[in-house]
Structure 1
Amino acid sequence: MLHRFFITIMGVCSLALGAQEVKFGEINLEDLNATEYINDTEANAVILYKKVNSYFITNGGNSRLVTEVHERIKIFNKDGFEHATKEISLYKNRSSEETVSKLKALTFNLIDGKAVETELDKENIFKTEASYYYNKVNFTMPNVQEGSILDITYRLNSPFIWNIDSFVFQYEIPVKQLVAEIRTPKGFNFKKTPKGEFFVYPKVSTATDHRIGMDVVKTAYHLNNVPALKEEKYVDNIDNYRSGVLFELVSVDLPGYFRSYSQSWADVAKTIGNTDDYKNELDKTRAFDDELDAVLSGLPSKKDKMDGIFKYVKDQLTWNEMDGKYFFNGLKKTWKEKKGNAADINLSLVAMLRYAGLNANPVLISTKDNRVPYFPTVDGLNYVIAYVKLDGTDYFLDATHEFSDVNILPIRDYNWRGILINNPDKVWRIVDLKQPKKAVKMFVLDAIVHDDGTTDGTVKARLSNHFAMNFREEFKNLDEEEYVADLEVKYGNIEISEHSVQKLKDFKGGVTEEFKFYDEEGAEMMNGKLFLKPLEFLTMEENPFKTEKRQYPVDFGFPFKNSFMVNYTLPEGYTVESVPEGLRMKIPGDLGTFTYMVKVTASKLNILVNYEINQSIVYPENYDFLKEFYKQIITKEAEPLVLSKITNGNSQSTTGGR
């Protein structure tokens, strides 16, 4: 913590150096000749300069927020080529959208000691609809080579004048120099919320802006030598930890006028709840009532009706992969076309559940790819699911995913809490999503050990909850022969036969996978003895947590338990010489447990291994415990079971855990 504090102080001190003006298209040969970045010699690329300048303009009574962007990137090697493809996100709603203009881009290469430029052709700039809320502008820089410099400039025009995009200070590659400035009308008070590891105090001044005819407050951030944001395994959304600053309009204070814009999540819920989608559209049941009556017939209990409606919606409607808290099609068009965005599907689900007499309401959420909202805002929510309160029990449902179930939501949904919009009862509040059930993966491996070191046998695996959901999702579009071939390689080049999977296409219950195997290297032969791995080819061999320290929480997505029952039949003429000691281990705070037991009989070896993580998220302060936990698992599973030949008709003594 102290180390990070000093890094932050050094970053702030660098502000005293100021920022040199950098003009588009004017580069120097020193940068073009550079082969590495001195502050991060392993970087594949570096942002030499980035400037973001935001200000307001008025034209014909219409106001806009304009953001000018200039970015210059140095590419060191082929691994840095990915930074030559750029994507600009443009927010939109039903009536307005952001646009990009004045986009110019140049690639500079060093040829015969001179800088030679290649201009981006406008025909290679593409605009696409990415989701209900966003368009994307994409382009790839031309003639990119090792050593290239990319110079890019454009202007963003936004009608959403009070929804100021966050300033981003940290990227996947280091930043040599960054300038971020915004001019806001004096009296319009914005709360500036820092995020991430590096906090920088801005320089604040006032001036007159003739573009709007008002005094403005200029807030400027100048940074030098910002380190890259390093990806780590099991991170929910790296943007949650990216250094920057968020802007929120909290009040307008002008002579003779004051208005507060500060709001609670209840205020946000009321605002959304008062829109036509939530106030009126959910009551338009004529789109489905005849069909639903047939579905409901023969379903006696409310729980049966909930399950039946959920299945019916999943069977009838297809998600178009677009998020949404508002209808894209509306109820009638959704049921006519049998597809829609997340709101089309899950608000239809809410309407049907209400029609069946259930206490059902929408719950607004921010999915993992939308980050965690830092303050109450309508725009911070991008998705809606269904919520049912039945006999004192909470049920959450998301019908967009083919293999989701009641209270088993797609992992993307488990990001934060939810905002309940209960218009009939006039209840608008935060609700806690029911955390994922523990997913269990259980393996039973029966193996016959032969005196030449080969093994053969059967494996039966049963997966529940999110393990089952993920398996179904991954397997559904795979060719089984290719899957089995990949599985053979994954398990150390074993041979697999008679592979089968049960309940693959269902969304309820677990998945069962079975196969026979032959392992040519099942046991290692040495000095007349056989050395077996306790879990055969199911052994964990690599610790997923290798870094010395962890900056971000570890997000497993869901709590889980992995259970292994391995039963070895010994070859004739062999006995057990030694087995590892048994072990029971816990992570402090009951975060996880590990159990290892071995049982020996005359011709059998039975190994039981369980390890489980009891929470979806493990915070950085417990990272050392988690890392050591996995280290101990790997160490224990690597300890061999030793078989030796029986001599003179007598069995040798056995040591180890029982």
Structure 2
Amino acid sequence: MKKLISSTLLFLFLTTIIFAQDVKFGKVSKQELLEKYYPTDSSANAAILYKKRISYFDYIQNKGFQLITEVHERIKIYNKEGYDWATKRISLYQGDEDEKVSIKGNTYNLSNGKIEKTKLNKKDIFEEDVNDYWYRKKFTMPNLAEGCIVEWEYSVTSPYYSHIDDMELQSFIPIKYIESKVETPEYFVFKNVMKGYYPINLERSTKSSYITFNFKERTGGSSFANGNVKTNYNQEKVNFKTNVIECTLKDVPALKEEPYVNNINNYITALKFELTSTKFPNSSLKFYSTTWEDVTKTIYQNSNFGGQLDKKSHFKDDLASLINLTAPDNEKIAKIFQFVKEKIKWNNYKGLYTIDGVRKAYKDGVGNVAEINLTLVAMLREANLKANPILISTRDHGIPIFPTNDGFNYVIAGVESASGIILLDATEKYSTPNILPLRDLNWNGRIVRENGSSSEINLFPKKAAQKNVFLVGKIDNEGNFTGQERLGLSNLLGLNARSKNNNVNENDLIGIFEKENDNIEIDKFKTNNQDNIYKPIYYQFNFESDNQVEIIGDKMYFSPLFYHTEKENPFKLEIRQFPVDFGTPFQEKYNVTVTLPEGYKIESLPENVSFSTEDNFGNYMFICKAIEHKLQIVSTLKMNVPIIAPNYYRSIKELYKQMINKQLEKVVLTKI
């Protein structure tokens, strides 16, 4: 019995050590420095050994509550690929009063068996402007080497107590130990929402707190009496409750990124905070929580947004010469859309609001996204079209969870028609109606109408992007493969190809195509419909290759799609907890016709197949047949929706596995 009690106490003691680590800044161990790889993930280039974060409120008399966030982080760098984790960026809000930060840091190396410490110098801490509201403190730790440990502590003091940073509990590298706590006075009510998929347990509690107010009162010294001035000091204590949310975790696995993710940061496990109300002593209850309708009204009423839509005099003459008001709507939309794209070039600045205003942007021929697309809305309205701005959050901005003014960072135009809402983004030279650039395709936007109403809009294209390859080739008796190829790309794939390739000179573009296609040799390269955005863009070329056919004895072996064979499944995770995001429905179709070499006959061909996912989200078809002395191969992959939910991941992964296995099968020829 004593042995059982002793074992239990030992277990509880060890558990307390694990989940209540007291890691002192500046104290690292040789064992940590000698560690060559992370024990549970040898592929990790770096790992967070320890992270502690606490956010709490501090009351300063005559100033009010301040939000303090303190962070202590220690990271192990295993190799050079992990050096990026030695750079830290701290985002800070700037307004009437800027957020302030204090920073210290060390790098630790093992030199001749001794721990060598290098301090972060203040001159190596830089400041970066992000926009009118945010700036960053950025630093890279000194004296980096494989196997080193970097460590920093920083404290942020903010007068903006409504903005508590997310409690992030996962990273893109493993976390050995993390402890996070947020303490809020009872006067502040925050709504919490979890994001991400890693399972955690939050602990909630309350504790007693108080504020001490100091008062000074002077008496005596009246002009009517000869008395001494006396100063009295008094204190008053106000007691209140503090709400505490905390979480302690160990051995948190890295969030692994896979292809076809819109923004992996959306899926980091974290707790978000939204201030919903405040109730101070002797004050009334004040609500902050709002709805998306309230947000859109506030944005629309801003003079740098809705106010810009009333400015029309500067373009009226151009519009009158551009269109006939009695022309069909589609014609008016196309002409105005193209005019605005050519008239005002995008300066790559995002944002909901104009900076210099639509008139100046129109005159100068350059502007931010709001200046361009609000001009587009105004011109469409002037042409008697039912046009309105659509607020969106771009992919790199993330998916907004709470209704806040910061939830959107971009605006496009929408025209309401009998067939639905036509989406337009005039910042993109190669876009067409309802084919937005990939940066815009982030779930839903919100259309804002003149009457103040708003509604959610699906941003994803309904038209499938098309990739069509027509390849005609022949194999000679030496196994050389020569022929011609015509590649056609339409809709979003056409937009992406034009954006990527139209400004690349031909020789460089040939080099890119050769590298992407198993180092074939290309000549007589030609591009069609380069700037005709309403038609597919085509690339045509002749090719030759001596590495597509393998000769062993009296047999020839080759893959039916040759250099277009998909060799590796992009989906590697056993379980994926976030959606597969293709951005658009699409179809990839390969039509291959091959003339076989003289003196050979077909010994075996891959069998024809057809696969589909459950619920028919995607399907694959493969046909291979011989006609006289030729082979005809058709390979078609179709995705019928732009986004696949995580519960269908296994089905998509299996579809790709079957497709790749089929494409890797060999055609076998034997000598006659």
Q: Which residue of 2 aligns with 1:495?
A: 521
1:587 Cα deviation (Å)? 1.3
TM-score using structure 1 length: 0.89
CA contact 2:481–2:546 (8 Å) conserved in 1: yes
Tell me, in whole angstroms, the C-alpha distance in 2 between the residues paired with 1:376 and 1:15. Answer: 40
Alpha-carbon offset, residue 26 of structure 1:
3.7
Report the alpha carbon displacement of residue 566 of structure 1 after superposing the two structures with TM. Answer: 0.8
> What CA deviation, in whole Å up to 9, does each residue of 1:581-613 have, x standing for no partner?
211221111111111223322232211111111
Which shifted more, 456-465 or 99-108? Answer: 99-108
DSSP 3-state at the match of 1:257: coil
Q: Name the CA shift for 1:311/1:344 in 2 (closer, same or farther; >3 Å).
A: same
Deviation digits for residues 262-284 of structure 1, max 9, x if unmatched? 32222222222222233322112
- Segment drifting more, 61-70 vs 245-254: 61-70
Distance 1:271-1:104 versus aligned 2 partners, 3 A rule = same
Alignment partner of 1:240 is 2:242: no
Equivalent residue, structure 2, for 1:384: 411
- Aligned positions of 1:201-350 closer than 5 A: 201-210=202-211, 215=240, 216-254=242-280, 257-296=284-323, 300-350=327-377
Q: Which shifted more, 465-474 or 292-301?
A: 292-301
* 1:358 corresponds to 2:385: yes
Describe the superposition over 1:509-543 as per-residue Cα deviations: whole angstroms up to 9, x where unpaired: 21100000112234333343333421222121221
SS at match of 1:273: helix
Unaligned runs of 5+ in 2: 1-13, 214-237
Q: How far apart are 1:64 and its partner, in Å?
A: 4.0
The answer as to whether partners of 2:301 and 2:307 remain within 8 angstroms in 1 is no
Distance 1:306 1:118 in 2: 62
Q: TM-score, normalised by structure 2?
A: 0.88
Kept after mapping to 1: 8 A contact 2:325/2:383: no
Corresponding residue SS for 1:463: strand
**Percentage identity across paired residues of the two chains:** 39
Whether the 8 Å contact between 1:181 and 1:219 is mirrored in structure 2 is yes
CA distance in 1, matches of 2:599, 2:254: 60
Q: Deviations over 1:353-392 (max 9, x none)?
A: 2222211111111222122122322222222111111234
User: 1:90 aligned to 66, 89, 92, which one?
Assistant: 92
* 1:505–1:100 distance in 2 versus 1, CA, 3 Å: farther
Q: Give the match for residue 652 of structure 1.
A: none
- Asked if 1 retains the 8 angstrom alpha-carbon contact of 2:392 and 2:411, the reply is yes
Distance 1:282 1:86 in 2: 41
Q: 1:109 — aligned with what?
A: 109
Name 1:560's counterpart in structure 2.
586
Partner SS state of residue 285, structure 2: strand
Q: Greater Rg, structure 1 or structure 2? A: 2
Give the direction of change, closer, same or farther, for the CA distance of 1:406–1:157 in structure 2 (3 Å limit). farther
1:239-282 Cα deviation digits (max 9, x unpaired) = 11111100112233456632333322222222222222333221
**CA gap 1:303/1:132 in 2 versus in 1, 3 angstroms:** farther
**Who is 2:429 aligned against?**
402
1:143 match: 143
Q: Which amino acid aligns with 1:508?
A: Y
List gaps (5 residues or longer) in structure 1.
1-12, 647-658
Structure 1 residue 557: deviation in Å?
A: 1.6
CA-based RMSD of the aligned residues comes to: 2.6
In 2, the alpha carbon distance for the partners of 1:263 and 1:425 equals 19
Within 5 Å, which residues of 2 pair with 1:123-134?
Answer: 123-131=123-131, 134=134
Alignment counterpart, residue 418 of structure 1, candidates 427, 445, 459: 445
The one of 497, 501, 507 equivalent to 1:475 is 501
Equivalences for 1:29-108 in 2 at 5 Å?
Answer: 29-57=30-58, 58=60, 60-61=62-63, 63-92=65-94, 95-96=95-96, 98-108=98-108
CA distance in 1 between partners of 2:396 and 2:351 (Å): 13
Partner residue in 1 for 2:531: 505
Write the distance in 1 (CA, Å) between the matches of 2:632 and 2:96: 66
Cα gap change, 1:635 to 1:30, in 2 (>3 Å): closer
Query: What is the rounded CA distance, in whole Å, between the counterparts of 1:97 and 1:606 in structure 2?
Result: 70
Paired residue total: 631
Distance 1:117 1:377, change over 3 A: same
Q: Distance in 2 between matches of 1:569 and 1:617?
A: 39
Contact 1:15 1:222 in 2 (8 A): no
Task: Give the whole-Å Cα distance in 1 for the aligned partners of 2:343 and 2:436.
Answer: 18
How far is 1:80 from its partner? 1.8
Per-residue CA deviation, residues 205-253 of structure 1 (Å, 9 max, x unaligned), is 2332538966333333333332222222222211111111001122334
SS at match of 1:32: helix
1:458 Cα offset (Å): 0.5
- Mark the CA change 1:429 to 1:17 in structure 2 (over 3 Å): closer, same or farther: same
Poorly superposed stretches of 4+, deviation over 6 Å: 13-16, 211-214
Residue 3 of structure 2 aligns with which residue?
A: none
SS of the residue 2:304 aligns to: helix
> Separation in 2 of the partners of 1:155 and 1:318?
42
Q: CA shift at 1:119, angstroms?
A: 2.2
The offset of 1:446, in angstroms, is: 0.7
| Cα pair distance change 1:523/1:268, threshold 3 Å | same
Hey, what does 1:153 align to over in structure 2? Answer: 153
2:348 maps to a residue whose letter is: E
Give the CA deviation at 1:31.
Answer: 3.0
Offset at residue 100 of structure 1 (A): 4.1
* Alpha-carbon distance between aligned partners in 2 of 1:129 and 1:374, rounded to the nearest angstrom: 26
CA distance in 1, matches of 2:600, 2:644: 45
Aligned residue number for residue 651 of structure 1:
none
**Structure 1 stretch displaced more, 352-361 or 455-464:** 352-361
